[in-house]
Structure 1
């Protein structure tokens, strides 16, 4: 459905440009927790919880497996929420749909949140879970080449950062990653080099101010802003990265930086697909699968997952 004048007016009213996330994030977490309660579980999947040791603490994960009892490839999922809100409960429905629609086991990571746990705490949690799943094949009965990293928004940032970190630490290397409207840059002010920050940064629910506030809560020091593990687009080396699918939304302030990251990966010789979803807003993956943008996105994801050994690198951006 195209965004008409009435919808634009409604979106503008809901965007709350003056809302200060730094003062409201605890309340937002409570709202997320209250609205993510599910009284009826879907019959299309079963779940079990697991914990992964990371330093002096354990990282909770929730595993969504299909009811047929067979082994399936794995989607390792990092949720969005600006590194500050969101949890495995709030993404329960998304992961349920993801498992069913992709015929994959989905592993959702409940990484630590900022500002109580600032960068790189959440990233290290995601890395620890990824490392265990890659190096312990008995856990899910899967091989490393059957594991795909996937994340939306801040989770897309974390997936990209885990891939860079995995290459740099040399312990394992993901074969595929799916980044859905990812945050890849460090500046979402008027000084940003990306037009989508200005074009879509005020009236489409996720505002550029909100992104800046999230990043201020996430970073630990000023130096973090220059780290490629904080802002992957700032990496000096984009080589030896996974085969990558990037999906952006037409009316998202993060659109251009996500597509720019795809171009950087492409120029470094990696296999990359970038798709811009028409008439889509940031966060659209959380909508029910009957929505056209969600259905189309899963069509793209499934084609990407089915292409095990691609023999060509696709053009930088395809608007669909």
Structure 2
């Protein structure tokens, strides 16, 4: 199926050229920062920090304009663990709050390569731990909190769920993973056809994913760590009720859908939906696009079914 021209044009701003990311990531991040310079925001937000070891983790809280929400979406942004940050997802999180009626808590975890794995998942886990273990923070019980992330953020949401099970301090009831990175190899040796057949038409290519992972990992052994690549896990049991949404034209499509199969085979409740005629990153576009509207319908059906 041909990719909708309007969607392709809108996502061109997210296009990933084939230059060496190791040399260009700072420039790319600066461009994103300029494009998302935070003037007065047209929606209500609160900034907060979570203390962790020798640093503070910024979080930003978005509330729906109507009705006080008791449900929370704990959101981890995308950007390949490298180029994303809290300001670059302001409009996404504001739309998410409005379209779902949930309070959205966006986490500004430490990014690579200045802070390599496991800095990002540890930051995300720390924020989740604070929110899950202290219901007084938002007057919200643990079963009303859903982990959510897109791309690298989807990877982090899955990692936090695995960490929570392994550490035994809390366990999320739900997670929503939007086109998550779940495997460690996106070369021609990948077992996943969507990665092997990746072309420039995808905007995000397999080469670029490998570039991001090279900046993110601290050691080759990280590739086999399930908190780095969730499909490396030897145990997929005792995980949250999971919604996975993939994009038809995305090199991450097959590995994300396989992660859903592994979770389901281990006895978890899983929904996997592939959005036709969609590219990686489509969820960051406004809801005027049909693919984004379809995605929100799936998300709301999932959230409402669990209430």
Shared fold, TM over 0.5: yes
Q: Counterpart of 1:276?
A: 274
User: CA, structure 1 residues 47+195, in 2 after alignment: closer, same or farther (shift >3 Å)?
Assistant: same
For 2:230, the equivalent position in structure 1 comes to 232
- Local SS of the residue matching 1:300: helix
Match of 2:21 in 1: 21
For the aligned residues, what is the CA RMSD?
Answer: 2.2
Identify the residue that residue 109 of structure 1 maps to in structure 2: 107
Question: Is 1:34 aligned to residue 34 of structure 2?
Answer: yes
Matches within 5 A, 1:145-164: 145-164=143-162
Aligned-partner SS, 1:265: helix
Q: What are the residue-to-residue correspondences of 1:95-134 with 2, within 5 Å?
A: 95-134=93-132
Of stretches 78-87 and 198-207 in structure 1, the one that deviates more from structure 2 is 198-207
Residues 98 and 106 in structure 1, CA contact (< 8 A), matched pair in contact too: yes
Alignment of 1:195-210 (within 5 A): 195-210=193-208
Q: What's the offset of the Cα at 1:89? A: 0.4
Pair 1:223–1:257, CA change in 2 (3 A): same
Where do 1:258-269 residues align within 5 Å? Answer: 258-269=256-267
Question: In 2, distance between residues paired with 1:299 and 1:270?
Answer: 22
Which stretches in structure 2 are left out of the alignment for 5+ residues? none
* Residues 4 and 277, structure 2, Cα contact 8 Å, conserved in 1: no
Q: Could you report, residue by residue, the CA deviation over 1:45-87 in whole angstroms, capped at 9, with x for unpaired residues?
A: 4110111111111100000012446242000000000000111
Residues 1:223 and 2:205 aligned together: no
Query: What runs of 5+ residues in structure 1 fail to find an aligned partner?
Result: 310-320
CA distance in 1, matches of 2:98, 2:10: 32
- Alpha-carbon shift at residue 2 of structure 1 (Å): 4.5
Aligned residues of 2:69 and 2:101 also touching (Cα < 8 A): no
Counterpart of 2:305 (choices 304, 307, 310) is 307
| DSSP 3-state at the match of 1:31 | helix
Whole-angstrom CA distance in 2 between matches of 1:129 and 1:9: 36
Residue deviations 1:237-293 (CA, integer Å, cap 9, x gap): 000000000000000000000000000000000000000000000000111111000
Aligned equivalents of 1:152 and 1:134: distance in 2? Answer: 21
Structure-1 separation of matches of 2:281 and 2:6:
20
Length-normalised TM-score, structure 1: 0.91
Q: Whole-Å Cα distance in 1 between the matches of residues 144 and 6 of structure 2?
A: 45
SS of corresponding position for 2:201: coil
Check if 1:244 corresponds to 2:242: yes
Q: Tell me the equivalent position of 1:313.
A: none
Shift in alpha-carbon separation, 1:198–1:305, aligned structure 2, 3 A: same
What is the TM-score when the length of structure 2 is the normalising length?
Answer: 0.95
